[in-house]
Chain A
């Protein structure tokens, strides 16, 4: 049997942190992605520019750099504001950015940009006649979105979305640099302490692979759901 030198429970906790981080980031990324896609397809010049700026910056800067910028830079920014509040109004507050929240925020922000492109392409792939039929039958814009545009779009978005998710899942490993005890960080500590890096890294690798396999199964089911009715899918 593999000897974990008592690191088992902490590794498990780390794995949970990884999963929580990934799922919450995914939710934020999907939300931001839908917003970005709508902004980029909007006829408002300003919204279009804001959306484009966001995706350009995020996609052009390495994830690790963004994460450190947002985490350390964010803390410096907040400190400056609280110092100023103290100087000016004698208000004494101290805000410390929580690593977990920072992680979710950064990863969500990064992948929101990629999701934005995925969703935009998928929305454009929906036959406009389908949307028109909804409007012609007295559906409001939100009803058209919920009942027609979204379900038809998802079929086109899912391959890209699942790909983004896999990359996102692995990107969570970066949070160890901002001090969050995810699975990778725990394993790294354990490797150093026990001088058995192979044992711990292989376990981490297997856990990632496991999560990825479960997700693939989940995405395949979703794809099947959203493919319903489409001839080429049968």
Chain B
């Protein structure tokens, strides 16, 4: 196992927005089949941290290593930027992201959404991409919605569709940015069920979530962030079941 490159590793990521330092040196290692959950109060930096992993946000400092290959950076007038955008583009194609707001492309049907990146980014033949997309739609329970536009579907359906879109890239690592936070409570379950299925089949995933019970069930590791730093990390039974940090205890305490 020691010889297999780690799918995703970040070291000492820092990020500031103006004068506010939002990430103060965060590191994380996702081994194959790891399900890592990032938890923390809003403003703790968990979403920013996740977005630094595929460089939707540019970290000011720190390393990002994908399958043993470090991303190269350079200093510009506007701060630190990737030295080679082609490398970033190739890296992103391996890390699919699922967004809080779904972000399915509004002008495309669900099927078109799913085949878009495989065809235009990976160069997959369209026919093959469509076949794969239909399998994925079946898997997320949306076979009958292939020709619907995002605006014609419920939030839960859109998010399941977005997960199918992510899976269509055959990603090495899947990043979930609060996938259920924008959903009506009764729609949360159907999305969590799909994600749970992915965890069970050994997908490598990093999730930002507020669903503590879910985190406890599916995670191999839970990371609790507070003000841009790791306050506590470890297996869910320990971090969620028997937290040592006073802050985490408060965070987990029932609110009413």
Contacts from A to B (Cβ < 8 Å): 43, 127, 129-130, 132-141, 143, 147-148, 151-152, 155, 226, 228-231
Contact = CB atoms under 8 A, between A and B. Distances in A.
Nearest to A225: B107
Interface in B70-123: 78, 85, 89-94, 96-97, 99, 101, 103-109, 116-117, 120-122
B214 interface: no
Contacts of B151: 229-231
Nearest to B177: A136
A96 to B, nearest CB: 46
A226 B121 CA distance: 23
Given A229-B107, A229-B108, A229-B151, A136 B121 contact: no
B56 A137 contact: no
Contacts of B236: none
B107 A152 contact: yes
Given A147-B116, A152-B106, A230-B151, A140 B85 contact: yes
A147 B120 contact: yes
A42 B241 CA distance: 50
B37 interface: no
B89 A228 contact: no
A35 to B, nearest CB: 22
29 contacts: A43-B78, A127-B106, A129-B99, A130-B106, A132-B56, A132-B99, A133-B99, A134-B105, A135-B56, A135-B92, A136-B97, A137-B92, A137-B96, A137-B116, A138-B89, A138-B90, A139-B89, A139-B117, A140-B85, A143-B120, A147-B120, A151-B107, A152-B107, A229-B107, A229-B149, A229-B151, A230-B107, A230-B151, A231-B152
B179 interface: no
Contacts of A130: 103, 105-106
Given A139-B121, A226-B107, 18 more contacts: A43-B78, A130-B106, A133-B105, A135-B92, A138-B94, A138-B121, A140-B85, A141-B85, A143-B120, A152-B105, A152-B107, A228-B149, A229-B106, A229-B108, A229-B149, A229-B150, A231-B151, A231-B152
